[in-house]
Amino acid sequence: MSVLTRELVESVHPAPLADEGGTVERASDEELAESLAAFLRQRPDRGPVWLFAYGSLMWKPELPILEKRIGRLHGWHRRFCLWQWRYRATRENPNLMLALDRGGCCQGMVQRLSLRGLHGQLSTLWKREMIGRGYRARWVSVATARGPVSAIAFVIRHDGPRYAGRLPDERVADYMASACGYAGSAAEYLLHTWETAERAGVRDRYLRRMQGLVAQRLMALRDARRA
């Protein structure tokens, strides 16, 4: 199997691209505040609040994290099924981001948030994850070696234009190998996610397969440019 590396990614995508501007409908501050308030009213208990991380939140949570554990979420699986036309993509070369879709299970990382200033932390998180109207927030129960925890998970919205459905892995890899935006390349996002998962002991055959497929396509793009 081909292996994705930073050197390979940078041989095809050496630098970010210029920002093309807004291409995704964004939720307003008022919508985000209402969504968060409604979500907090559904909080199952007054115990610790955990965040279930399965993609970039594993390596870039941007929140103070008090504790981390490996956890398994049943009933959901990670999949590159969320369209992205900005950030790590453009309209000409769209990208697919990770989301949780129905069925199966997902091994990831649960991160315990500080209860001090919790609302402010979650407001920041909502502006990151919910502004593009691609996710829904859910309270979920995640199994860990020290027992189940109640966690926040961001799952795919099936009712919006950003849901890509179950595209073949090979087609997803085509998009990801080509996509780059002002925040970097899609392949870099995959590399960070896969490497972080491996270091943490999160074993995921899907991530391993996708990094191999994207690596193959990047090598083909690199060799074509050198020819």
Element (H, E) at 149: strand 149-156
Closest CA relative to residue 96, chosen from 105, 85, 106, 107: 85
Domain presence at residue 169: yes
Domain presence at residue 46: yes
Cα of 15 vs its chain's centroid, Å: 21
Per-residue pLDDT band at 220 (split at 50, 70, 90): very high
Residues marked active site are found at 129
Domain presence at residue 158: yes
pTM exceeds cut of 0.85: yes
Number of domains present in the structure of the chain: 1
Domain presence at residue 9: no
C-alpha span between 94 and 193 (Å, rounded): 19
Strand partners, 110: 52, 69
CATH of the domain at 36: 3.10.490.10
Domain that includes residue 47, residue range: 23-222
Angle at 98 between CA 93 and CA 100, to 5 degrees: 140
Domain presence at residue 190: yes
What tokens were used for 29? Answer: 């501050």
46: CB partners within 8 A, 6+ apart: none
Domain presence at residue 10: no
pLDDT (tens digit, 9 = 90+) per residue, 153-205?
Answer: 999 999 989 999 999 999 999 999 999 999 999 999 999 999 999 999 998 99
